[in-house]
Structure 1
Amino acid sequence: MRAKREALKALFTAISENKVDRDIVDLLLLINSIKGVYTTSSCSGRVGIIEEPKIGAKPLSRWIIKKHAPITFEEAKDSLKDAREGIIFLKAQPPIFHIVGETPEIGKKLHEIGLSSGFKYTTFKALSKDRVLVEINGTEYLTVPLGRDGKVLITDEYLEFLINLANEMLERSKSRLPRLEQNFKKLKKELGEDELFYELNPPRAQYI
C-alpha cells in the first residue's frame, strides 16, 4: 500500500507538471486505478536523434531531437546542425510500461495482458512473494548510426528513408495501445478499482 501511494503521488505530480507523455496519460490513470496494480515508469514510444560520447555511455548522451510522434525529414535535417561531439544515432523506440502487480497472480495477469496486446517483448523484471514487476515492451526498435563528431556521413536520400522507416515503426507500435487499454479495462472489471487512487484525487479521475 505504501509503495503504491508513493508511486501515485509521483505520477500525479508528473502529470500536473506536464512531464508525462500526453498520449498515454489516460491509459496510465486507468492502470493505476486498478486494485493491486501501479506503474513506475513509462514511455509512449519515440523517434529521435541522439549523440553518445562513446558506445554504452548512455548517461552522458544528448538528444538533439526527440518526439513521441513522427518527425519530418526537415526536422531531422535541421536538428543535425546541432550535432557536436560523439556518435550520432537515429533511434525509434516502442511504447514501454513498467507495471507492478502486488501479488504473483496479478503479475501473471499483467504479463498475459502485455503479450495478448501484441507487445512481444513483455517480460518479468523482478519477482518476490509480494511484488512482481512486469515490463510491457514492443519489438519495434531501430538504431542507426548517422555520423560522428558533428559530421553526417549519409546522404539526404538515405536519411529520408530512415526517417520514414522510423516513423512507420513508431506508428505500428503505437497502434497496439488501444488494445492494451481495452485489456486493462477488462482487468479493472475483474480486480476492481482501488479506493486509494481516488482518495488521492488524481487529475481527470472523473474520466477513468
Structure 2
Amino acid sequence: MADFKRWKEQRLSRADGSRKGSVDEPIEGIVRLLNGHDSFCTTSSCSGRVVVLEQPPLPPAAEATTSFEIQKQNCNWLMVTHQNCTIQDVLTALQRATDDAVFKFEPFVLHVQCQELQDAQLLHVVAIEAGFRNSGITVGRKGKIMMAVRSTHCLEVPLSQKGKLMVNEEYVDFVVQVANQKMEENRRRIDRFYTSLQFALENRDHSSSSPLEEKGRNNTVDPYRRKRKSKGTKTDEDHTSPEENRGLESEDETESKLNVFH
C-alpha cells in the first residue's frame, strides 16, 4: 500500500501532458472522486470528442508495418471539440484539408491504475452497467493493475481525398447529426457511471467500517453483480471475450497515451 500511495502522489504531482492540458469539465467529478480514494489513480482520460483530422496516405509497402500511434502522430488536427458540433464547423475544417480527411466521434475513455484487483473489479462492474461495454482489466508483468473504461459507439467516416470533398453537404450534415446523437448518449452514460460509482464506493466504505462485516459485504458490495446474475446472463467478470477487450493497452502502451486523449 505504501508503494502505491507514494507512486500515486508522484503521478498526480506531474503537469498534465495532454493536448488540452486539463481534465475535461464533464468528467472532473469522476476524476476527483477516484483520486480521492486511496485505491485508485487516474492516468488518462477524455470525456468524448468530435474531430476532423487529415493524414497523408501511406505508401502500400508501409501500411503493414506502420503502427497506429506513428500514423496518429502524423495527423493534422483540423477540428477538435468536446461538445456538439455543427455542419459549418466541419465544412470550415475541411476547407483547410490538403490530404485525406476523416470525421470521427470518439466516446468517453478513462484509464485508472488500481491498488488491488478487487478495486479494478468494482470499477469494471460499474462501467459495464453504465453502458461502457468495451471496458476491461489488464494486469502487467510486474503486477500493475489497470482498468480501462471504454465504449463501442464510435464513428469514423472519410470525407475528403487529397483535399477534395468526396460527399455532398447533405451527407456531411447527416454524419454531424449522428455524431451529436452519440455525444448525447455518451453524456448519459457518463452520468450513469458517476452516479453508480458514487453509490458503489459509499457502500464499500460503509461495509469496511461496519461491525457486521460479512453481512454488509453480502448486502452492499455487489448489487451490480447480483442484478446481472438474476437475469440469467453471464457477467463480464465471468467471461470477457477477446473482441470486447480488443484495443486495450498494455501497461507500457497505456502510459504512452497520456498525450493523446484531450
Fold shared, TM-score > 0.5 on shorter chain? yes
Q: Where does residue 122 of structure 2 map in the other structure?
A: 109
Give the counterpart of 1:157 among 152, 170, 190.
170
Candidates 123, 135, 157, aligned match of 2:148: 135
Alignment of 1:185 onto 2:198: yes
In 1: Cα distance, 2:31 partner to 2:102 partner: 29
Aligned residues: 188
Structure 2 residue 139 is matched with structure 1 residue 126? yes
Q: What are the superposed Cα offsets for residues 159-184 of structure 1, whole Å, 9 maximum, x if unpaired?
A: 10011111111211221111111122
TM-score, normalised relative to structure 2: 0.67
1:187 & 1:37 partners in 2: Cα distance?
14
Task: Give the deviation of 1:70 after TM superposition.
Answer: 0.8
**Contact 1:7–1:39 (Cα < 8 Å) also in 2:** no
Structure 1 residue aligned with 2:13 = 9
SS at match of 2:30: helix
Consecutive unaligned residues of structure 1, counting only runs of 5 or more, are: 193-208
Write the mapping of 1:166-177 to structure 2, written as runs, cut at 5 A: 166-177=179-190
- SS state of the match for residue 131, structure 2? coil
Task: Say whether 1:79 aligns with 2:93.
Answer: yes
Match of residue 82 from structure 2: 68
Q: How far apart, CA to CA, are the structure 2 residues paired with 1:140 and 1:176?
A: 11
Cα distance in 2 for partners of 1:103, 1:131 equals: 9
- Specify which of 28, 34, 37 is matched with residue 34 of structure 1: 37
Whichever residue aligns with residue 122 of structure 1, its letter is S
**TM (normalized to structure 1)?**
0.83
Secondary structure at 1:35 match in 2:
coil
> Following superposition of structure 1 onto structure 2, how do residues 50-61 of structure 1 map, counting pairs within 5 Å?
50-54=53-57, 56=68, 57-61=71-75
Alpha-carbon offset, residue 127 of structure 1: 4.2
Instruction: Note if contact 1:103-1:129 (Cα within 8 Å) is conserved in structure 2.
Output: no
Aligned partner of residue 98 in structure 1, secondary structure: strand
1:133 counterpart SS class: strand
Task: Specify which structure has the higher proportion of strand.
Answer: 1
Query: 1:94: Cα distance to partner?
Result: 0.6
Counterpart-to-counterpart distance in 2, 1:45 and 1:61: 19
CA offset at residue 21 of structure 1? 1.2
Work out the CA distance in 2 between the residues paired with 1:183 and 1:126: 24
* C-alpha distance in structure 2 between counterparts of 1:191 and 1:148, whole Å: 55
CA distance in 2 between counterparts of 1:125 and 1:83 reads: 38
Determine the structure 2 residue equivalent to 1:197: none
Cα distance in structure 2, aligned partners of 1:166 and 1:84: 23
Answer whether contact 1:102 1:130 (CA < 8 A) is retained. Answer: no
Q: CA deviation at 1:140?
A: 1.1
Moved over 4 A (4+): 127-130
After TM superposition, give the deviation of residue 35 of structure 1 in Å: 2.1
Q: Deviations over 1:118-140 (max 9, x none)?
A: 11111123346753101101111
Read off the aligned partner of 1:41 and give its amino acid letter.
S
Letter in 2 for 1:6: Q
Q: Where in structure 2 are there 5+ consecutive unaligned residues?
A: 59-67, 207-262
**TM-aligned CA deviation for residue 36 of structure 1:** 0.7
